[in-house]
A = this chain, B = another copy of it.
Amino acid sequence: MTAEGSRGAVYRQEDDYDRRMSPYDPSAYPPFAVTVDLVVLTVRRHALCALAVRRGEPPFQGRWALPGGFVRPDEDLGAAAARELVEETGLCAHDPGTPLPEAGNGAHLEQLATYGAPERDPRMRVVSVAHLVLAPDLPAPRAGGDANSARWAPVDELLDQEGGFGREEEQPVPLAFDHARILADGVERARSKIEYSSLATAFCPPEFTVGELRRVYEAVWGVALDPRNFHRKVTGTPGFLVPSGGTTTRQGGRPAQLFRAGGATLLNPPMLRPEV
């Protein structure tokens, strides 16, 4: 352990930091590392998937983890998350003020929660501000050019503590650190938020059909919805969808109207998630 910056050192523990004067006295407060971790969700092949990166170094070497990195000395938390997102996926999400939901270039980014248990990283005291990203279906992820060190995985698979091997040769090992918990919290947030907000459109391309939007709800909630009532509901909610004029038959069947996301962010009345 070095003299300063290590756990267990003795600091002047003034509870009311607000009453302190000295501007920069490192001995007066315990230093933490602050990082951002990203829960990046998308809907692929009718399943809710999250972005995972493979760890190349200990601890948890070889295990899957959420993407993330340090917050820089002069960077806001949301900006750090947006930067990491670009670096890991090429996705551009506009940085909102910390807890403001906001759509950027298709993707939605918001702060999720902060995780700071003392032993969550065995190397040092790390406080991680997790962020949630909802993105449309993307090409295979790049991670520093290295393929197969990053992938989209169904969240059920990543959270499955039991067996449940993926179709591939992937192992059912839990995620590194407390990332399973973070991912579960992010998934829960997404599930409840599409109920009363228009966020489900963040999973869709710029133009989409009502059926495509319905399949997003079905994948995120893991339920089947009545296509007819769903159609009435979403087209009848003011500000949710605006027709873009075109039609498509990319799903087969009768041509479907194309829509864009409307201006409304809060849905009133909300979408109803079927019981159990």
Q: Give residues in A with beta carbon < 8 Å to B.
A: 1-2, 4-9, 11, 13-26, 29-35, 53, 55-58, 65, 68-77, 84, 87, 98-99, 111, 113-118, 122-125, 127, 129, 144, 176, 185
A77 touches B30 (CB 8 A): no
B26 touches A5 (CB 8 A): yes
Of the residues B2, B16, B31, B56, contact of A5 by C-beta under 8 Å: B31
List residues of chain B with CB within 8 A of the CB of A4. Answer: 4, 26
With both beta carbons as reference points, the residue of chain B lying nearest to A111 in the complex is identified as B113
A32 touches B71 (CB 8 A): yes
Interface of A is mostly: loop
Q: In whole Å, how far is A173's beta carbon from the nearest beta carbon of chain B?
A: 16
B8 touches A24 (CB 8 A): no
Q: In whole Å, how far is A267's beta carbon from the nearest beta carbon of chain B?
A: 13
List residues of chain B with CB within 8 A of the CB of A65. Answer: 18
B1 touches A24 (CB 8 A): yes
A75 to B20: give the CA distance in the assembly, Å: 21
A2 to B19: give the CA distance in the assembly, Å: 20
A127 to B8: give the CA distance in the assembly, Å: 20
Asked whether A33 and B19 contact (CB < 8 A) given A26-B2, A98-B114, the answer is: no
Q: In whole Å, how far is A15's beta carbon from the nearest beta carbon of chain B?
A: 4
B76 touches A9 (CB 8 A): no
A20 to B70: give the CA distance in the assembly, Å: 11
B127 touches A24 (CB 8 A): no
Of the residues B30, B115, B124, B185, contact of A24 by C-beta under 8 Å: B124
B33 touches A70 (CB 8 A): no
Of the residues B8, B72, B73, B118, contact of A75 by C-beta under 8 Å: B118
